[in-house]
Structure 1
């Protein structure tokens, strides 16, 4: 049981480290993560006093990535 908890802590630490690096890189390139929110299929409507933005393609892509990550995690931590 302690090995499982140790693996979870290592995984969360690696995720926090990766997220920190992404934030550092984003800050150096103008505060924006490249390609996020600017993919083909993202909806942007601009009128005089109104702007509507819905990142449809970005949402689908992030959903697929998170699904794959969670699937891999469930495969790793599955009890045999």
Structure 2
């Protein structure tokens, strides 16, 4: 039963992290938006780096507790 509890804790942490990141998407200094006419191109470079780091940490922690 303790494994089931750990899974819920990890899922909760993932949702909190996603919620925090969601509020910053498109607003970080390394995210670029180019507009020309009615075409908009968005490059979320800094957001992608942060999401990658956070996911790496989460998967590391999941692997550590197994």
**TM-score when normalising by structure 1:** 0.60
TM-score, scaled relative to structure 2: 0.70
Query: Greater CA radius of gyration, 1 or 2?
Result: 1
Q: Which runs of 5 or more residues in structure 2 are unaligned?
A: none
Bigger relative contact order, structure 1 or 2, given CA contacts below 8 A and separation 6+? 2
What's the CA shift for 1:10?
Answer: 4.3
Higher strand share: 2
Deviation at 1:6, TM superposition (A): 4.3
Q: Give the structure with the higher percent helix.
A: 2
CA RMSD of aligned residues (A): 2.6
